[in-house]
Amino acid sequence: DAGITQSPRHKVTETGTPVTLRCHQTENHRYMYWYRQDPGHGLRLIHYSYGVKDTDKGEVSDGYSVSRSKTEDFLLTLESATSSQTSVYFCAISGGGFSSGNTIYFGEGSWLTVV
């Protein structure tokens, strides 16, 4: 198994509170991704990183921010959680470009409920 740890694995929070999800990898992979998975929508990219302090937006980035101060850690922050952000969040890592056939490895997911 790829060395990816997501924390917390489960969280219930109230609307309007900030939430930070952490992804930690031990593979020294360059690329890191945050996805959310919802019924009927599949996996949608929130943000990704292609190096320390190098990040960019995905297709559903509104309401989310990320930071990557070290190769091994990629943080996803919901500044003010809303009920529409209730979802399962997956962190993923890759050593190289996807188009080159590099494998993307996924973490086990973080279940977030906003009430």
Closest to another protein by CB, 15 vs 26, is: 26
Write down the least CB distance from residue 80 to another protein, Å.
Answer: 27
Coil, helix or strand at residue 2: coil
Give the residues lining the site for another protein (CB under 8 A): 31, 33, 35, 40-45, 48, 50, 58, 90, 92, 94, 96-109
Closest to another protein by CB, 14 vs 53, is: 53
